[in-house]
Structure 1
Amino acid sequence: MNERSSHQRAMLAVAVAVVAVSSSAPLIAFAAAPALAIAFWRNALATVALTPFAYGSSRSSSRTRLFAVLAGLALAAHFSTWMPSVQLGSVATSAALVATQPVWQGVIAAFQGRRPPPAGWIGIGLAVAGAAWATGADVGVSGQAVLADVLALSGGMFAAVYTALGERARTEMSTVAYTWICYGTCAVLLAGVCLLAGLPLGGYDNRTWLAILALVVGAQLLGHSMFSYALHRISATTVSVVALIEVPGAALLAWVWLGQQPRPAALPGVALLLAGVAVFLLGGRRASRPRDLRA
């Protein structure tokens, strides 16, 4: 009963996280600041907010702490690729392409000796075809749009690495301890990148600071932190699948709030991509169901 209750709490955490992260891409597009600077502030402020709770919250091995640091590096790479893609292209396409994360999660699992079932490989093929379609539709728009697509795909890859490393770290660490180390590592790395690139970390208008604060409270503390909490009870692949709901949520917000109507030529590719990810997830879930029942 306790196990069932813990699983239900983890699924509730994922639901809250999905709602929170759906606002991420529209807020990034809305903010008048460099994407990497926004990424720095959302991680730095989240680290500060977690510091009083992180002190003495968990005792873990140096190996587990190393996984948390590596997850922070992967998270920095994710933000450094995906967040600029939102400002360079459309919110809808960027959110869809970064949603290929479960596919890359499956590739990582295959390298770990957990090969996807046949349905999983079919899903991977559909997702790749959809990504190629959506990207090809942007070729006729501009080189900037294509660059945005490539960055979003890279962001999905790094997100898979981040989630896989986080899954390893969360075997011993509490949510607060893990996220504090992960966000802190990410913030330090992004601060260095911003300083080297000469990107301003201040001087923004009030609406940009409000957008950054909304990102910290919503996407970062409620979004990523709730995903991290769920990894203690739910697999990284399952978390990645449920997170797909972010795609239509972000597209709808961008359309209503920012007036960004999705490009019609890219919509079939986006639909094919999401269908591929869904097939991949459902196929993997069916294949793992007997093992889950025994557990």
Structure 2
Amino acid sequence: MSTTDFDGPVSPLTGLAIAILAVSTSAILVRWSAAPSLVKAFYRVLFTGFLLAPIAIVRHRDALAVISRRDLVAASGAGVALAAHFASWFESLNHTTVAASVTLVQAQPLFVAVGAWAFLDERVGRRTTVGIAVALGGMVLMSVSDLFTPSGAPRPLLGNGLAVVGAVAAAAYVLTGRSVRSRVALVPYVVVVYSVCAVVILALTLVNGDPLTGYPAREWLLFLGMAVGPGLFGHTVINWSLAHLESSVVSVSLLGEPVGSTILALFLLGEIPTLPTILGGTVVLFGIYITSS
């Protein structure tokens, strides 16, 4: 793994803290935008790719040229999985609360553990098993509670289900790219991933008949904000931090995203989470912590 992609005066822990704050804004920006979900996802990925392209061309042109066919196929598979993640998660925010959606989509470490056991022959220990069981219990509590305690969301069960699909897709993205990042530097890798992701989402957008143009200036600023904040300073910096910090530290730190997003939704969207959502979300986060630590 290359440790020189973004070396500088910022410490890895400081960079990780900034990244968690940046990704916490994602759900808020998505909610503020009135564009179709696929359009939001497309422009977020496209603009993030554009922002990284100059760095890739200037500093990593040779690395891009020598990516093996095997790694290119794997990175492309990660791009398809990332497209599925964005498409399902962005749509989930149209149907359920920010607190529920972000907490459930952040459960991807659980599915990474299951996928690593099923496809990579990695052993699942007792602690991981307990953590998965606890988190799944929290997911059930969050979803079932919506049947009895209205959260104000239009279709919370659908939204929660889409968020879980987003978590599974994110796990596939992580598992697919895990080995590639040990051989390919960060910027060349994410440029390939984002490019494939953008093409897949563009195809889905065209099939769905969503317009790609004609949006007011406010929407274009939100699209750019999604790319600069959650995209560039969020997930890209998190990928960089994995070269400097233990994966367990990064995984556990990501639990700050649901908390940050819920707090931002409270103040910026006036969205007050119900008690069952808070309880269920806490159980989910505890389960993820057990699994990741």
Say yes or no: TM over 0.5.
yes
The answer to which structure has the higher helix fraction is 1
2:283 aligned residue: 272
2:93 aligned residue: 86
- Alpha-carbon distance change, 130 to 237 in structure 1, aligned in 2, over 3 angstroms: same
Residues paired across the two proteins, number: 277
Residues 170 and 232, structure 1, Cα contact 8 Å, conserved in 2? no
2:38 aligned residue: 36
1:135 aligned residue: 143
Residues 68 and 178, structure 1, Cα contact 8 Å, conserved in 2? yes
The reply on whether 1:99 has 2:106 as its aligned counterpart is yes
- Summarize the alignment of residues 53-92 of structure 1 with structure 2, pairs less than 5 Å apart: 53-55=55-57, 56-58=61-63, 59-92=66-99
Q: AA paired with 1:22?
A: S
Q: AA paired with 1:120?
A: T
2:29 aligned residue: 27
Q: 1:233 Cα deviation (Å)? A: 4.7
The reply on whether 1:119 has 2:127 as its aligned counterpart is yes
Cα distance in 1 for partners of 2:111, 2:79 equals 18
Q: 1:263 Cα deviation (Å)? A: 2.0
The reply on whether 1:213 has 2:220 as its aligned counterpart is no
Q: 1:102 Cα deviation (Å)? A: 0.9
Scaled by the length of structure 1, the TM-score of the pair is 0.88
Task: State the SS of the aligned residue for 2:94.
Answer: helix
Q: Percent identity?
A: 33
Cα distance in 1 for partners of 2:154, 2:25 equals 26
Scaled by the length of structure 2, the TM-score of the pair is 0.88
Worse-superposed segment, 233-242 or 124-133: 233-242
Task: State the SS of the aligned residue for 1:52.
Answer: helix
The reply on whether 1:193 has 2:204 as its aligned counterpart is yes
Q: 1:206 Cα deviation (Å)? A: 2.6
Q: 1:238 Cα deviation (Å)? A: 4.8
Q: 1:270 Cα deviation (Å)? A: 0.9
Task: State the SS of the aligned residue for 1:87.
Answer: coil
- Tell me the alpha carbon deviations over residues 108-165 of structure 1, each in whole angstroms, 9 at most, x when there is no partner: 2222222222111111110000001101112344772100000001111111111222
Worse-superposed segment, 246-255 or 131-140: 131-140
Cα distance in 2 for partners of 1:57, 1:236 equals 28
Worse-superposed segment, 138-147 or 89-98: 138-147
Residues 126 and 275, structure 1, Cα contact 8 Å, conserved in 2? yes
Q: AA paired with 2:145?
A: A
Q: 1:10 Cα deviation (Å)? A: 4.4
Q: 1:201 Cα deviation (Å)? A: 1.6
1:293 aligned residue: none
- Alpha-carbon distance change, 21 to 226 in structure 1, aligned in 2, over 3 angstroms: same
Q: Which runs of 5+ in 1 are unaligned?
A: 283-295
2:271 aligned residue: 260
Task: State the SS of the aligned residue for 1:104.
Answer: helix
Q: Identify the match of residue 168 of structure 1 among 162, 174, 179.
A: 179
Residues 82 and 151, structure 1, Cα contact 8 Å, conserved in 2? yes
Task: State the SS of the aligned residue for 2:230.
Answer: helix
RMSD value, Cα: 2.0
Residues 167 and 235, structure 1, Cα contact 8 Å, conserved in 2? no
- Tell me the alpha carbon deviations over residues 35-94 of structure 1, each in whole angstroms, 9 at most, x when there is no partner: 111000011111122222223151322211222111111100100111111122111110
1:242 aligned residue: 253
Q: 1:274 Cα deviation (Å)? A: 0.9
Task: State the SS of the aligned residue for 2:272.
Answer: coil
Cα distance in 2 for partners of 1:178, 1:231 equals 14
Q: AA paired with 2:135?
A: A
Residues 95 and 154, structure 2, Cα contact 8 Å, conserved in 1? no
- Alpha-carbon distance change, 264 to 64 in structure 1, aligned in 2, over 3 angstroms: same
Cα distance in 2 for partners of 1:202, 1:239 equals 37
- Tell me the alpha carbon deviations over residues 237-292 of structure 1, each in whole angstroms, 9 at most, x when there is no partner: 6533321110110001111011111122322111111111112223xxxxxxxxxx
